[in-house]
Amino acid sequence: MNIQAPLIIDIEGFALSALDKSRLKNPLTGGLILFGRNWQSRKQLTDLCADIKAVRKDLLICVDHEGGRVQRFRTDGFTHLPAMHRLGEMWSQDGKGLVGEGVLKACKAASAVGFLLASELRACGVDFSFTPVLDLDYGESSVIGDRSFHRDPRQVSLLAKSLMHGLQLAGMGNCGKHFPGHGYVKADSHVDMPVDNRNLKAILKEDAKPYEWLNNELSAVMTAHVIYPKVDSRPAGFSQKWVQDILRMQLEFTGAVFSDDLSMTGARVLEAKPISLTEGVLAALHAGCDLALLCNQSLKGSTVIDEVLDGLAEAQVKGWWQPDELSEARRLALLPTSTALAWDDLVRSVNYQQALACLP
């Protein structure tokens, strides 16, 4: 029998409610994403993650924890990680391009950031972070900004690869975002529908290069809520051309594909028509995404998550959507396979202390 648990949902508070547990038990739920509102202390976070795994061990506990302004947990011992642009600045500080000492220092620092990021999260029970950002810094996008390593796709790729090596050392996968690139457009897809009018050749030559060069190292990719009208009229996350034809076939990526948050403004319109969250989930899955991200829908007693779960179940019964065992295998492959160090053991370890010393 085909199975797939494609929904990544959220919860409202510091602990699981009875409603949260019911949603997490649903066989269509594959995991959840944590936010700052779910953080009170390391102990609280560790207890929350343990309670989630007690509901279902296979649930993928995710978070947006990149460093800089996108870091959900910042107190009670968590290292304040630099924005990725700081690593790009380190690269260039000696002015010797791809061969200078600054390159080596920047790559070493990127690996240290990855290790600290992943090891601290895993010590509290978090499985996965949506990082690194592979968008290029064109100096236009406020939502990307200093989250980007650099304008040059070569520097982005090498720094991202170093960061991913650090994640791997701590037993965590990675997620390159936002495919094929969100850095060129000024509009913020959280509140607008960005449009990038470049042609496919230009995008593949620049923004998509990190995905081509890192296709064997990337565990997962997150799509952009951006329309590239010279390629397809649909946003990338709703586009079979982008997900299946280009990412899968042309760039030969075989890992998991996530939609970005489907509650964002950039994901609420399709072919110039407003769509529901259930329709957005189905559009993403039909495009070839393995996992659909649904954020900030558990707040103030909202029933939206239940409506989407029911809608997806109905779509399955009526044959509008069919589960995919390969997609489920890709989800399960993102779960850590090694045992994480407890916090006190982690902070005393040589690897941890060396990583701290490498931070910019």
SS (H, E, C) 107-136: HHHHHHHHHHHHHHHHHCCCCEECCCECCC
Per-residue model confidence (pLDDT) at position 29: 98
Per-residue model confidence (pLDDT) at position 11: 96
Rounded to two decimals, what is the model's pTM? 0.95
| pLDDT tier for residue 141 given thresholds of 50, 70 and 90 | confident
Active-site hit among 10, 260, 261, 290 = 260
Per-residue model confidence (pLDDT) at position 272: 67
Q: Does residue 268 register a pLDDT over 80?
A: no
Q: Is 178 a catalytic residue?
A: no
How many Å apart are CA 137 and CA 260, to the nearest integer? 19
Q: How is residue 241 annotated by DSSP?
A: I
Q: Is 260 a catalytic residue?
A: yes
- Percentage of residues in the chain having pLDDT higher than 90: 86
Query: What domains sit in the chain, N to C, each tagged with a CATH number?
Result: 69-304+332-357 (3.20.20.300)
Sequence-separated (6 or more) residues with CB below 8 Å from residue 245: none
Active-site hit among 190, 286, 310, 324 = 190
Which has the minimum average pLDDT: 106-110, 143-147, 191-195?
A: 191-195
Tens-place pLDDT, residues 290-344: 999 999 999 888 899 999 999 999 999 999 999 999 999 999 999 999 999 999 9
